[in-house]
Amino acid sequence: GAVVSQHPSWVICKSGTSVKIECRSLDFQATTMFWYRQFPKQSLMLMATSNEGSKATYEQGVEKDKFLINHASLTLSTLTVTSAHPEDSSFYICSATSGASREQFFGPGTRLTVL
């Protein structure tokens, strides 16, 4: 089956630093990748949608200059949280789709803790 990996699985950083999270589709080409954020006992909230080779589309209320998304290839998308603050601490999950399928394949998530 389609597998999506994320790296790192968890990260702790100091306030003000930047953190990069990678999302890879291991055995398929992902035409579209999504980035979600999930707070405890809350639903997944879509942050942005990215298509390979084009700029990401951000959801309302998500700062594009703070959450930089790069989708340079059909198998890799990165999310960089710039100047992270404690309120950015959350579970970040990516997903990917391929072709016309509506099924999203999710990565295992990255737990970010900003001190």
Partner 1 sequence: SQKIEQNSEALNIQEGKTATLTCNYTNYSPAYLQWYRQDPGRGPVFLLLIRENEKEKRKERLKVTFDTTLKQSLFHITASQPADSATYLCALGDYGGSQGNLIFGKGTKLSVKP
The one segment of 34-42, 62-70, 72-80, 81-89 that binds partner 1 by CB under 8 A: 34-42
60: which residues sit within 8 A by CB, 6+ positions away?
Answer: none
CB 70 within 8 A of CB 49: no
Site string for partner 1, 36-75 (x = CB under 8 A): -----xxxxxx--x-------x------------------
Which one, of 61, 63, 56, 67, lies nearest residue 112 by Cα?
A: 67
Question: Among 71, 105, 112, 114, which residue sits at the site for partner 1 (rule: CB under 8 A)?
Answer: 105
* DSSP character at residue 66: T
Alpha-carbon dihedral 42, 9, 20, 16, rounded to 10 degrees: 70
Residue closer to partner 1, measured from CB, 73 or 83: 73
Which stretches of the chain bind partner 1, using CB under 8 A? 4, 6, 31-32, 34, 41-46, 49, 57, 91, 93, 95, 97, 100-109, 111
